[in-house]
């Protein structure tokens, strides 16, 4: 069964609202194994809505619309459906009575246009809206199905989950399961190159690459008659991908670099602390965004000025004079001082030039030095990152989280 989503509302075309309804419905349809090849948005104009319905039905057997069910003159989705199928609009007495009671309970007079919400194309299945005054409806005719849902996301999602999903189950005999493998330290193109043969060789499960700032992922999706069968299809593909790209894979699904790190340190009962200069608290913020981080993360120092590096982290002023604040030598002393100050097993330090100013020939913008301390041992590394101030900071942060996670593996 091919489905299309048609969102109706001039406010979407003006960019006043983001079309989250389409994303919600798409995710649910994918999970049910229904094929969605198109989303469309059209404004509150009868002719253009009828045209859009007609176009969608030339490609698909089912349309799900959102929006245009309210009481105003602009709300004309049901009229457009009636016009497309050549049906009359009929008053539904039950819906009319519910509307009258709603306004009575509210103690407000009901204006005449509210009654528009009780008219439906002849032969509609009327679907109650547990979160609003406008009922939804389903029209089936000539082998085509159109499901007409309200626009407000709270109402739409409620009606979909409670009334439409059960209705749709008759159209699918399969389930879709997905597994997302998350990677760091490899570019999207190299990742894809490594599994090109799998991507083109498999059609079930499918394998799709995605990229985000600094990291990338492969999503494996299988369609089968049962959840177990779908998972069984995913398993060998996952193994093969892990075999090829395992060194970059840090987690799956909702894992983040920070959550994986916190899990590992919690497991090994390693406490740690941070000393951040150019990242200015970003790494600590990522760490503390994970619930449960307080069991292993003691805290940190944002050592933005040299005075703080010297006065609080006990960096030797001579080190800064000789090598500069952005140096592996300074990073080493920062993480050592940090570990001592917080009395923890491990610590990290970041000092770099995020830009836009502050760069030089030897140390251009993007130069970042890192120090890692673990029970007396110190390792340092210098990196060069491209991008603007925010990107340099994000890349530095992810580099630290990944290095700590790998370190925790070894310990």
Among 287, 331, 336, 401, binds its own copies (CB under 8 A): 287
Among 85, 120, 184, 342, binds its own copies (CB under 8 A): 342
DSSP character at residue 171: G
Closest distance of CB 14 from its own copies, Å: 5
Closest distance of CB 163 from its own copies, Å: 17
Tell me the C-alpha to C-alpha distance, in Å, between residue 89 and each of 44, 77, 142, 173: 18, 12, 18, 34
Among 291, 318, 361, 410, binds its own copies (CB under 8 A): 291
Query: Footprint of its own copies on residues 166-195 (CB under 8 A)?
Result: 187-190, 192-193
Q: Pinpoint the alpha helices (H) of 145-281.
A: 153-159, 165-168, 188-194, 196-201, 227-245, 257-268
Closest distance of CB 285 from its own copies, Å: 4
Contact between 120 and 94 under an 8 Å Cβ cutoff? The reply is no
Among 1, 32, 38, 229, binds its own copies (CB under 8 A): 38
Q: In which residue are the tokens 């800064």 written? A: 320
Distance from the first to the final alpha carbon of the chain: 52
Which segment (167-175, 232-240, 241-249, 380-388) binds its own copies by CB under 8 A? 380-388
Closest CA to 74 of 12, 15, 18: 12
Among 2, 54, 94, 106, binds its own copies (CB under 8 A): 106
335 binds its own copies (CB under 8 A): no
48 binds its own copies (CB under 8 A): yes
Query: Footprint of its own copies on residues 257-286 (CB under 8 A)?
Result: 274, 276, 278-285
361 binds its own copies (CB under 8 A): no
Which segment (223-231, 259-267, 327-335, 382-390) binds its own copies by CB under 8 A? 382-390
User: For residues 163 and 180, what is the distance between their CA atoms, to the nearest angstrom?
Assistant: 30
User: For residues 152 and 174, what is the distance between their CA atoms, to the nearest angstrom?
Assistant: 30
Q: Pinpoint the alpha helices (H) of 17-164.
A: 20-31, 46-59, 77-85, 93-106, 153-159
389 binds its own copies (CB under 8 A): yes
Q: What are the residues whose beta carbons fall under 8 Å from the beta carbon of 83, sequence distance 6 or more?
A: 46, 50
Which is closer to its own copies, CB of 228 or CB of 390? Answer: 390
Among 61, 71, 92, 255, binds its own copies (CB under 8 A): 71
Closest distance of CB 167 from its own copies, Å: 19
In a 3-state reduction of DSSP, which class is residue 122?
coil
Closest CA to 398 of 251, 215, 275, 216: 215
The pair phi, psi for residue 69, each rounded to 5°, is -110, 0
203 binds its own copies (CB under 8 A): no
Among 177, 223, 363, 393, binds its own copies (CB under 8 A): 393
32 binds its own copies (CB under 8 A): no
Which is closer to its own copies, CB of 1 or CB of 312? Answer: 312
Q: What x-and-dash track marks residues 51-70 binding its own copies by CB under 8 A?
A: -x--x--------------x
Burial letters for 330-364: b for 16+ Cβ neighbours within 10 Å, e otherwise?
A: bbbbbbbbbbebbebbbbbbbbbbbbeeeeeeebe
Query: Footprint of its own copies on residues 124-163 (CB under 8 A)?
Result: 131, 152, 154
């Amino acid at each position: 069964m091919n489905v299309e989503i048609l969102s109706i509302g001039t406010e979407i075309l003006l960019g006043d609202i983001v079309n989250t309804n389409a994303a919600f419905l798409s995710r649910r349809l994918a999970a049910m194994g229904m094929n969605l090849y198109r989303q469309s948005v059209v404004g509150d104009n009868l002719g253009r809505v009828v045209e859009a319905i007609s176009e969608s039905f030339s490609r698909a057997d089912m349309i799900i619309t959102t929006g245009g069910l309210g009481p105003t003159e602009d709300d004309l989705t049901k009229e457009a459906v009636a016009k497309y199928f050549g049906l009359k609009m009929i008053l539904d007495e039950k819906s009319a009575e519910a509307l009258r009671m709603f306004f009575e309970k509210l103690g407000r007079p009901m204006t005449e246009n509210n009654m528009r919400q009780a008219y439906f194309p002849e032969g509609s299945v009327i679907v109650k809206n547990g979160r609003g005054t406008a009922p939804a409806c389903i029209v089936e005719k000539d082998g085509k199905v159109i499901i007409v849902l309200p626009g407000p996301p709270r109402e739409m999602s409620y009606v979909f989950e409670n009334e439409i999903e059960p209705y749709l189950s008759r159209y699918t005999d399969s389930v879709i399961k997905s597994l997302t493998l998350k990677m760091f330290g490899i570019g999207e193109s190299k990742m894809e190159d490594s599994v090109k043969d799998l991507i083109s060789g498999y059609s079930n499960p499918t394998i799709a690459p995605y990229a985000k700032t600094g990291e990338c992922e492969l999503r494996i999706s299988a369609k089968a008659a049962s959840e177990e069968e779908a998972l069984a299809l995913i398993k060998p593909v996952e193994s093969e991908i892990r075999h090829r790209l395992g060194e970059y894979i840090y987690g799956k699904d909702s894992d983040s670099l920070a959550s994986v790190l916190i899990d590992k340190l919690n497991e090994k009962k390693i406490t740690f602390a941070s000393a951040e200069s150019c990242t200015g608290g970003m790494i600590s913020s990522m760490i503390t965004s994970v619930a449960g981080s307080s069991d292993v993360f003691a805290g940190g120092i944002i050592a933005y000025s040299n005075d703080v590096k010297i006065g609080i982290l006990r960096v030797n002023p001579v080190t800064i004079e000789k090598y500069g604040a952005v140096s592996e030598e300074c990073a080493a002393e920062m993480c050592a001082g940090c570990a001592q100050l917080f009395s923890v097993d491990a610590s990290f330090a970041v000092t770099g030039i995020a830009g836009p100013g502050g760069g030089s020939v030897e140390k251009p913008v993007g130069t970042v030095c890192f120090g890692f301390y673990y029970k007396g041992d110190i390792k340092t590394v210098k990196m060069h990152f491209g991008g603007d101030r925010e990107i340099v900071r994000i890349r530095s942060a992810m580099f630290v989280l990944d290095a700590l996670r790998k370190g925790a593996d070894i310990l």
